[in-house]
Amino acid sequence: MLPILCLMDWLGLWAYRKVWDKAALLTLLPAGVIGILIGTLTFSFVDENTVRLLLGVITLAFSLSFFIKQGNTGKPKKPVRLFGMLAGALSGFTSFIAHAGGPPIKFYLLPLQMDKTLFVGTNVVFFFAINQIKLVPYAWLGQFSPENLIISAVLLPLAPLGIWLGLKLHGIVSQSLFYWISYSMMVIAGVKLIYDGLTKGGYV
């Protein structure tokens, strides 16, 4: 997946190159690099499906709380630097181990209720940096086999289509609907992570 994600990151970065939250990135990115380092050092010992399962449970609980409050986000939360650092580190780690770094970043960014374009731009810049950094340890660990790269090449043409569709939808969706969709997608992501963790990990 990483070569495909990197292409999507380049396309997304061009689209949102002028719109991102500097303060949030200064909190998230250094911690994300630390998370990647931890993932690199523990790669041979950590069960990726256990990571998926635990992250899925947390993601599902976080997203369902939004709907328990009847879809009301409440007042915007003030950014807490320590929580942002923990979210960034967890994102770097889970992104490296299981390509599941999205939920932890949203744990931090969604409650801030920033403008939808600023929210997306900040996500794009964060994962652009994280995925580029991951290339080095992935290569060192021998993850880029010819078979993997062939599969990536076959799927690569779908990346620009996905980015184009996302940009079109972003321009149509209102701010309130954007957050409702974001939390809904988190529910789906949580269920998918739990399912993958249970089935691929041999728990069921």
One-letter amino acid of 147: E
pLDDT of residue 196: 92
User: Residue 40: which of 132, 137, 117 has the closest Cα?
Assistant: 137
Three-point CA angle 144, 200, 126, nearest 5°: 50
What is the reported pLDDT for 203? 74
| Predicted local confidence at residue 116, as pLDDT | 94
Nearest to 120 by CA among 186, 66, 170, 65: 170
What is the structure's pLDDT at 56?
95
Q: Splitting the chain (204 residues) into consecutive groups of 10 residues, what average pLDDT does each group show? A: 76 88 96 95 90 94 87 77 96 92 94 94 94 86 71 71 83 90 94 92 74
The reported pTM is: 0.87
Query: How far apart, in Å, are the Cα atoms of 163 and each of 70, 89, 135, 186?
Result: 31, 26, 21, 19
